[in-house]
Amino acid sequence: MNKQMDNVAADAGIRGGVHLSQRHDSAHKHVTGLAEYTDDIPEPAGTLHAYLGLSDRAHAEIVSIDFDAVRAAPGVVGVLTAADVPGSNDISPVGKHDDPLFAEGKVEFHGQQMFAVIAETRDQARRAAKLAKVEYRDLPFVTDVAEAVSADYPYVTDPLKLERGEVEPAMAAAPRRLKGAMRVGGQDHFYLEGHIAFAFPGEDDEVTVYSSTQHPSEVQHMVAHVLGVPSNAVTIIVRRMGGGFGGKETQPNIFASITALAAKKYHRAVKLRPDRDDDMVATGKRHDFLNEYEVGFDEDGRVLAVDGVFAARCGFSADLSGAVTDRALFHADNSYYYPAVRLVSRPMKTNTVSNTAFRGFGGPQGLIIAERIMEEIAYALGKDPLEVRRVNFYGDGERNVTPYHQTVTDCIIERVVDELVESADYQARRQAVLDWNAKGGVIRKGIAISTVKFGISFTATWYNQAGALVHVYSDGSVHLNHGGTEMGQGLFTKVAQVVADVFQIDLDRVKITATTTAKVPNTSATAASSGSDLNGMAAENAAQQIKDRLIDFAAEKYSVDREQVVFQPNAVLIGNRRVSFDDFIKEAYIARVHLSAAGFYKTPDIHWDRAAGKGRPFYYFAYGAACSEVSVDTLTGEYVVDRADVLHDVGRSLNPAVDKGQVEGAFVQGMGWLTTEELWWDDKGRLRTHAPSTYKIPLAGDRPAIFNVKLAEWSVNKEPTIRRSKAVGEPPFMLPISVLEALSMAVASVADYRECPRLDAPATPERVLKAIDRLGGREA
Ligand code: MTE
Ligand code: HPA
Ligand code: MOS
């Protein structure tokens, strides 16, 4: 398909406009090492290096810290503690003042930063940081979410309740009922480029920080607060991250603030890059959840009532846990209509690192319960789980209102699933799996379809805004800047495609430039999958302003109607005079046309009343479905994913190649979350899985052996988003829930599918083996 579209474009249009498959603008630089990351920036003479001093208690008063040995260590220039902070020693992203930059008086998790060592080299700083002698007075602590619930540990932020209909009577009247609980594991971001910041002092109160951040404006504000200077003194720059995945939405504040503080204090450039173990220990991760549910249903498998409680391990501070646990509730229905429903969140405080954003932002941890409920009902009724899913899909008429009272008006899940069932040959393959398992061998198979309906917009409504800056230089080349950040997802490429399309110029005429708070202010995090929706629109708006001025200029100068000024590929047609774009721009410049514009966009028609639990928090939904087949060795618990078929909705894709890459990457990352990536804290509250030696992310070989990923090419966003596309970053992350449920089926086969095996996530081989044992599989 894309080949064909590209050829058409080459003949008739510009190179690289919208809806065409374009390689990521930096793809060749990523693989050859030419892409510049923060650590590649040449260090000026005299650059200093900072390193974190971390607590080794889960909860304790700090009685004293003796830095003598640290200060005496080779290369050490100084030590920074809370006492060195001229402004506020707090980097809470939500204004709760519960996130000290340096622990003061007490530590609340094992690995909390208490101080920073500044030295001539990174190695010197890192070694010296271990030499501090800390005297603690231990306090009781809780690390696990279930323990936190039973110990009545506090919430880190206000819980949310979503309610619609009368749950008790509906539950009581339901012909069938069941209760269940599911633990859903957390996840380390494991970006290839870890956290890093590099600060340069300026004159007066000024400082510039290169930060690996998804949220330059927040880093700017945090650095300003810490230094006690206004935001206009602080400039943040990020050309790209080597992956963020949500891990760089708030966590960069630690590193940027410390380097800025040190740069101002010593008046030298200062860099801070923790090693992988410390990055994993000291920065927040995906929240693990303990979810409990009760569901009432009828003999057809139709849900009548759902009552759910979603408890999350938030860690020691609020960070983004409020919005994360809210989003879990917003997705606890997934594609399914619940006639009566009550969903409650429990954002539990624990003495662990403060958990944060991670692809899906709580959505996956909520959505997985909807899928589990479908499986539970199917096992209870002896049905194909697909049948149960189908009778519960959001539909027309009454059956289209969510637990948060938003009406679903764009539901395409039935068509997506129908097409997937067909292309994946689900029915025949399910029969083959059943036949295979009926033979009773050691290797058992499972196959499952799961669906995704993911809400697009920040639920913090004010975040849904963006700015852009476009300059057209007098030679006709274009400089593009916007508030979004590039973390590998292809945002810069897509937004440049939009600008190229507005001016009808080849994509390589548009220069993509580093995100900086000095060019576009007050930006939102590049998060919630909203990067291209928001920044694409803002950039289009900026380019369109310039284009409008150019049209006015041409119409006046050549005495033609505005309609007679037409932008053609790399040229402009004015009446019947055709000039190249570059010559036209030169003319416009000479005529003193303003060739620069700031663009802006805010998402329309969204609102959310959290106290009432009602509103339209999402502008639209993105949909998808996946069918996964697995083989499980019932003697060892080992398994492989033999095949996965995906059909995913990105509306009218801005760039099918990039979007398909996002779907594939999200699927594999989601598989890691649900299968092998296990976080484990010991009885001292230490994270023991803090390196690739103990924490297993998927390898190339873990990719499904057959992996058919397709975009729903017919889908067009009903809302006027940028060129009718849909957000793609997070929604496909939840597709591999089909892998977990396929594993469940393989396990269930050892007991003739009488029982839903209720596999918790991650379904590590160990956990799969235990489930088989529990069902009596190995005796059989
Ligand atoms: N893709 C890559 N390659 N690297 C990343 O860090 N982050 C994901 C997703 N895809 C990520 C990624 C997350 S968590 C989000 S919210 C979106 O990209 C953010 O970018 P977007 O809004 O431009 O899609
Ligand atoms: N998603 C991702 N990041 C966020 C959100 C959200 O809904 N709200 C605040 N930060
Ligand atoms: Mo993505 S978790 O919203 O950065």
How far is ligand 3, taken at its centre, from the CA of residue 729, in Å? Answer: 8
Cβ of 488 closer than 6 Å to ligand 1, yes or no, is yes
Lowest mean pLDDT among 3-7, 205-209, 541-545, 610-614: 3-7
Cβ of 458 closer than 6 Å to ligand 1, yes or no, is no
In which band, very low, low, confident or very high, does the pLDDT at 374 lie, cut at 50, 70 and 90? very high
Using the atom order of ligand 2, give the atom closest to the CA of residue 460. 8
Whether 136 maps to a domain, the answer reads no
Cβ of 214 closer than 6 Å to ligand 3, yes or no, is yes
pTM: 0.97
Same domain as 766, residue 635: yes
Domain boundary among 602, 629, 652: 602
Same domain as 713, residue 673: yes
- Cα distance between residue 59 and residue 349, in whole Å: 12
In which band, very low, low, confident or very high, does the pLDDT at 449 lie, cut at 50, 70 and 90? very high
* Residues 6 or more apart in contact with residue 189 via CB below 8 angstroms: 243, 244, 245, 246, 247, 248, 283, 285, 286, 358
Whether 163 maps to a domain, the answer reads no
Q: What tens digit of pLDDT does each residue of 204-234 get?
A: 999 999 999 999 999 999 999 999 999 999 9
How far is ligand 2, taken at its centre, from the CA of residue 317, in Å? Answer: 17
Same domain as 563, residue 529: yes
Domain boundary among 571, 602, 633: 602
Tell me the residue range of the domain where 509 lies. Answer: 2-35+465-602
Domain boundary among 572, 602, 632: 602
In which band, very low, low, confident or very high, does the pLDDT at 778 lie, cut at 50, 70 and 90? low
Whether 57 maps to a domain, the answer reads no
Whole-number pLDDT of residue 396: 82
Residue written as token pair 């939904």? 621
Whole-number pLDDT of residue 7: 37
Whether 433 maps to a domain, the answer reads yes
Whether 334 maps to a domain, the answer reads no
Pull the structure tokens for residue 133.
């002698």
Same domain as 738, residue 653: yes
Same domain as 753, residue 635: yes
**How many domains, in total, are found in the chain?**
2
Same domain as 623, residue 739: yes
Same domain as 624, residue 580: no
Q: Tell me the average pLDDT across 166-180.
A: 98
- Give me the active site residues, please: 730
Whole-number pLDDT of residue 13: 87
How far is ligand 3, taken at its centre, from the CA of residue 252, in Å? Answer: 14
In which band, very low, low, confident or very high, does the pLDDT at 397 lie, cut at 50, 70 and 90? confident
pLDDT above 90 as % of the chain: 97
In which band, very low, low, confident or very high, does the pLDDT at 776 lie, cut at 50, 70 and 90? confident
Using the atom order of ligand 2, give the atom closest to the CA of residue 459. 7
Whole-number pLDDT of residue 602: 98
Q: Tell me the average pLDDT across 592-598.
A: 98
Among the residues of 205-315, which ranges form H helices? 216-227, 252-266, 276-282
* Residues 6 or more apart in contact with residue 514 via CB below 8 angstroms: 237, 238, 239, 240, 481
Whole-number pLDDT of residue 12: 64
Average pLDDT, the chain: 97
How far is ligand 1, taken at its centre, from the CA of residue 662, in Å? Answer: 8
Whether 540 maps to a domain, the answer reads yes
Whole-number pLDDT of residue 4: 41
Q: Tell me the average pLDDT across 508-531.
A: 97
From 320, 728, 730, the mutation candidate for ligand 3 (largest count of ligand atoms within 8 A of CB) is 730
Could you tell me the CATH number of the domain that includes residue 530? 3.30.365.10
Same domain as 476, residue 440: no
pLDDT above 70 as % of the chain: 98
Q: What tens digit of pLDDT does each residue of 610-619 get?
A: 999 999 999 9
Same domain as 723, residue 777: yes
- Cα distance between residue 539 and residue 217, in whole Å: 18
Instruction: Write out residues with Cβ below 6 Å of ligand 2.
Output: 249, 320, 323, 327, 357, 361, 458-460, 463, 525, 527-528
In which band, very low, low, confident or very high, does the pLDDT at 780 lie, cut at 50, 70 and 90? very low
From 361, 532, 533, 534, the mutation candidate for ligand 3 (largest count of ligand atoms within 8 A of CB) is 361
Residue written as token pair 């003061």? 104
Cβ of 730 closer than 6 Å to ligand 1, yes or no, is yes
Residue written as token pair 């009718």? 724
Using the atom order of ligand 1, give the atom closest to the CA of residue 494. 23
**Residue 504 three-state SS:** coil
Whether 147 maps to a domain, the answer reads no
Same domain as 627, residue 695: yes
The protein residue with its alpha carbon nearest to ligand 1, atom 11, reads: 245
Same domain as 647, residue 523: no
- Cα distance between residue 224 and residue 395, in whole Å: 50
CA distances from 452 to 1, 288, 504, 646 (A): 25, 20, 36, 11
How far is ligand 1, taken at its centre, from the CA of residue 596, in Å? Answer: 29
Whether 626 maps to a domain, the answer reads yes
Same domain as 435, residue 549: no
